[in-house]
Structure 1
Amino acid sequence: MRATHSKKVGTGSNKRPEKLNVHIRNSWRTNLQLIMSIGYKKSLSAWQCLSEVKMGRGSPIPPMLRRKIVEQYQKGVSQRKIAKSLKLSSSTVHNIIQRFRESGTISVRKGQGRKTILDARDLRALRRHCITYRNATVMEITTWAQEYFQKTLSVNTIHRAIRRCRLKLYRSKKKPYLNMIQKRRRFLWAKAHLKWTVAKWKTVLWSDESKFEVLFGKLGRHVIRTIEDKDNPSCYQRSVQKPASLMVWGCMSACGMGSLHIWKGTINAERYIQVLEQHMLPSRRRLFQGRPCIFQHDNARPHTASITTSWLRRRRIRVLKWPACSPDL
């Protein structure tokens, strides 16, 4: 009696990887045979079809291989021989041929898959809500969607749904608010100066002031660090409670740049008149050399104060009217 020797392959945890390796080797062998059968001088579309081959279980059969199955079937080759020659299962060949009989195509039938939580009607309602409330956060939209659709929805689901609606979250642009009266005044100002020539605009001396904060020691929000460096002092976000500030006043025209004045603290009417006497008047004489000019400044409180307007009137300085909330220079 012949003795049988059993070869121990390994534990149960090692059998699955070996089966997977065998499956991968068989798949590569099938693809290699298919490439050899097609040849090396085929068209580019044939190689593109071969490049769509996916390794693994449940992957669709490439269109080139499906076409070859149908061609052999039309020549009268049996399904068993087709499956054996192409190293495919008989059920796979049978399903491809049956689909060709029913629909006349060799395309892959669309799988069912998991249905989306929000259908097309829900997406339209979500899009209308997002457009109506553009400044709402994703968390607020998620809370509304859960109450409106009566479904369990997460923030990531709403993120994906917003992208499916062809919308995207952006950082909004900053723009000063204008009411109807301010818009009307700006429109009338533009209409009144519509016929000004280039030579007339060259006679304007433009001026403005701005506040600059000295942010010494203040760092940004983002930092590059590891998980362990969260308590490292170099990774902290430093902020200054009351940063020092500087006020800068300047003027310019088509003839050139005027003087630039820097001072600390805020400005009032008295200090603004000193700036005009010490910097605006010399700049006007240097730039226009006695020619008539028009002085422009905005509607800040030091500019529209009674002592400032009376000083400009005594100096016979013509001031360009400027509508409220106009854009800065």
Structure 2
Amino acid sequence: MSGKNTSHDNIVRVVKLHKIGNRNREIVKITAVNEKTVSRLLQKWRRAGSGDNVPEHKHGGGRSLKIPSKTLRLLRRQLDLNPSITAKELKEKNPKLLRNVSVRTIQRNIQKRLEYSKVKARVKPLVAAKQRCCRVQFAKDHKDWDLVQWHKVLWTDEATFCVSENKGTKVWKSRTSSMCDPRLTVTSVKHPPYLMVWGSFGYGGTTGILSWLPPRLSKCFNY
């Protein structure tokens, strides 16, 4: 049985569920703890007097952790404040706590114990506060339009294709966080000087595709 499922929090849950009348099989479904483990924990609890005393989980032997739980909680706070920070920067930022810990060990603890993963930051268009207000106001002004009015609307959009590849920024993402979190995104300019393509559609169908390339790049690509 892994120590994760028999942590102190899960042990407390097992005892509380037993106190309110849940059977062992029901406790297994709720807590995902093995049925034999549930029985063993409840036996320890009964031997302790069946009071408020909760049996502590005994960890196995072996070497002590290079990064204690207290230090790991500090790293979690720093990752939440700055998800783009690297393991090397964490080591340099905490010289006393991580002096004898390698960068690879820091990465492994972040991934396995904190359950963070290194992902590519999502590119989010840079929208000013005034633009946000205008979009909300547009939605309010047109929320009661009927189909006849929407048939007269032409929707247009454009996309920019960069000539060079952009590898982007990588950030630390926890299992519960969303990729739409502003801390996990990087802003981008909507109109860089590269090939731009326009298109539109409405009730009557779609239009043709229009493209534009900056003059300074036209000669390079014989456009």
Query: Whose RCO is larger (CA < 8 A, sep 6+)?
Result: 2
Q: Which has the larger radius of gyration?
A: 1
TM-score by length of 1: 0.34
- Higher relative strand content: 2
- Higher relative helix content: 1
